[in-house]
Amino acid sequence: MDELERINQASFPECERNSITDLFDSGKDGNLDMLGIFTDEQLSGFFTVRKYRRLRYLAYFAVSPDKRCQGIGSAALKKLKEFYPECQIVCEFEAPEDKAYNNDIRLRRKALYLRNGFSSSGWYSFYDETEFEIACTGGELDMTAFQGFITYLNTIVPDHIPDPYKK
């Protein structure tokens, strides 16, 4: 737990971060998977995946700062798609914005997802004063399933709820 929390603290801004304990607690209904990413038998990152029917929402994806830029993220995303072969995986990432102080990171993050089997959906959301782009595997975003997921998510964690829109 301590190592998960260390990676969590180093990977997400405070406004987007929940403690590992709170994440585990929010999954008491059985619809949350916490998946470790290991290299050389050492915890190098984690996924937090919310499950809703055949949709898997990638709520958190973190790689330890000292393990980044080594191909671990790409390898982990490949394994994630293999772990959920019959499901559409949906993620959100900070939308690139020329004026954003971290636009280089936003562009790299988007490129990571796009080169690893995710497609831009054309949908966005906005919360915590940040615009997020929604991407998914398996072709076009199943908006009916995603809207159902949002309704479900609102019953267990009422903050950080996507409100999708197109531009």
Burial (CB < 10 A; 0-12, 13-18, 19+), residue 119, is middle
In this structure, the number of other CB atoms found within 10 A of the CB of residue 45 comes to 24
- Of the candidates 77, 82, 39, the one whose C-alpha atom is nearest the C-alpha of residue 58 is 77
Statement: the pTM of the whole predicted model exceeds 0.85: yes
Q: What sign results for the dihedral spanned by CA atoms 84, 146, 138, 96?
A: negative
Q: 48 in helix, strand or coil?
A: strand
Whole-angstrom distance, CA of residue 32 vs CA of residue 51:
6
Whole-angstrom distance, CA of residue 21 vs CA of residue 40:
25
Mean pLDDT value across residues 133-144 = 96
pLDDT digit string, tens, across residues 38-65: 988 888 888 999 999 999 999 989 888 7
**Homologous superfamily of 2-166:** Gcn5-related N-acetyltransferase (GNAT) (3.40.630.30)
For residue 97, CA distances in Å to 41, 86, 148 come to 37, 33, 29
6, pLDDT greater than 90: no
pLDDT digit string, tens, across residues 102-113: 999 999 999 999
Domain layout of the chain by residue ranges = 2-166
E strand map for the chain: 32-39, 42-52, 55-63, 88-94, 119-127, 130-136, 165-166
Place of tokens 């004063």: 129
Mean pLDDT value across residues 123-150 = 93
Q: How many helices (H) and strands (E) does the chain have?
A: 5, 7
pLDDT digit string, tens, across residues 67-84: 777 888 999 999 999 999
Query: Helices 103-114 and 72-83 sit at what angle, rounded to 10 degrees?
Result: 40
Instruction: Check: CB of residue 134 under 8 Å from CB of residue 121.
Output: yes
